[in-house]
Structure 1
């Protein structure tokens, strides 16, 4: 009887590990899908609302939603506690600085350049995780990151190598790189906090801590970039505050908890894949063989790297 019990327990443990990995994969893909819509709307809103104002409204709406979700949770979930320094770091890196930097970068660079640079996210986060929390960056993960980046290049260039000769760096490109670095730091800090705190609490508190910085900055920005309010602008801001911010951040943080920062960032490259699909379905943009092959490269690289972790 004892060997049979041990065998069943071992199988049960393996199923739990496998289930955790697959749930993590679904969560990070949900996050990148909602963020693809955020990128599209952020680009569309650039002439109507400033980057800091959009960020402040986005996270204000999100904090109100999280406050409602946390109302019935244990009081410890609503307190900073010993995690205060790490949560403050998350607030500065992933909220107060990341979103305005990204939106500001999109004002100076093309969507093509910004999407390309997003493919560097896994490499940046993997390096930060290796430096700060000593998370191993295996050769398989490193190779998978380059394969994912190759898929991004293929999607953006549509298979035309001459296209890359026309790309030139500018301020917008540097801002997007800076935003990705900030996001990588947010993910790594979140990994440490969520070792003993829920993703809901971590996300809510990190956003709430950033509001005292974002709101005054947004008021100042109104003197230089006044918002042009229209019904469609209001709806877009509400959507950004709920879907990419509440659902996206929760899904991402829980995915990071299950897969680790490096493993989760392997699927950050699905963002341009979803962006291409949204453009094809909603805007009638072409979706060719290069997009299909590039998407397959990105997803396969993510699966390969994550299977090594599991």
Structure 2
């Protein structure tokens, strides 16, 4: 098999592994909403992940174990992906369903395209803009349940809006991480962003514990260990490894699989019904994302893949 083709297949496998385990994060995170606060659970899972990364980094070359000229980019990566994204995501899961949250996450590729246009001057094509609008219609349909009367009462689910904020933060993280990957490997970037963000999370967790004490039981401990090893350590590494092979735009196309995995897991483990609004809204979001991502200049796609392959 052609080495480039094999590298692409491995990259696709990595990003799909990431979206699958992150979908399980939505499900299990909602199961813990009455036992632990959002910042505390984020601190616990990234503490476990940091231990795993510390062990792995010991076997990496010396240059990969040091912070260099990209220190500020790593700090921005830590702020968006570690400090802000997870707590806000768990906060949103207190007020909405895992099915809703995973489908809304399908907006991430489109928001990433907007942020890329603003911050790294990669303009969106007309088809990308149309795809973004189509996906936005899907989100509005999902939130309203397809009922026009919803807009008359203007009663929003605050959990859905919180999840939208988390998605926007993830878009920023994706753009920043694509810059960091130009200077270091995926495991090094993932590890150092976790190391930098963890102390800040722990500091906020101390304050949260005064308001939301932890209710310890066996289920909390087991799920927390799972969240630290699988969605945090494996999920973040797999995503960045996929970006390194496919480029940010190539990887973000497959982020749209998260709603599919999330809806399935939410239905299987939380007994959450999947109704017409979820199906129609989800199809619009996914169709918009795929439509937007497919229409890109070939040269630009090749450049992004080549940048990722340098890692």
TM-score by length of 2: 0.82
Aligned twin of 1:61: 48
Q: Which residue of 100, 124, 143 maps to 1:137?
A: 124
Aligned twin of 1:161: 146
* 1:222-249 Cα shifts (integer Å, max 9, x gaps): 1110000110110000000011111110
1:291 Cα offset (Å): 4.5
1:258 Cα offset (Å): 3.0
Shifted more, 288-297 versus 180-189: the winner is 288-297
Change beyond 3 A, Cα 1:238–1:303? farther
Tell me the secondary structure at the aligned position of residue 173 of structure 1: helix
Aligned residues: 295
* 1:99-123 Cα shifts (integer Å, max 9, x gaps): 1111112223444543443232122
Q: Which residue of 158, 175, 183 maps to 1:188?
A: 175
Name the CA distance, whole Å, in 2 between partners of 1:283 and 1:172.
Answer: 17
Q: Which residue of 30, 36, 40 maps to 2:17?
A: 30
Name the CA distance, whole Å, in 2 between partners of 1:253 and 1:164.
Answer: 42
1:278 Cα offset (Å): 1.7
Aligned twin of 2:309: none
Tell me the secondary structure at the aligned position of residue 81 of structure 1: coil
Shifted more, 275-284 versus 64-73: the winner is 275-284
1:265 Cα offset (Å): 2.5
* 1:234-270 Cα shifts (integer Å, max 9, x gaps): 0000000011111110111122233333332332222
Q: How does 1:223-238 map to 2 (within 5 A)?
A: 223-238=210-225
TM-score by length of 1: 0.82
Aligned twin of 2:307: none
Aligned twin of 2:235: 248
Q: CA RMSD in A?
A: 3.2
Aligned twin of 2:83: 96
1:124 Cα offset (Å): 1.1
In structure 1, the gaps of 5 or more residues are 1-11
In structure 2, the gaps of 5 or more residues are 303-311
Contact 2:99 2:259 in 1 (8 A): no
Aligned twin of 2:28: 41
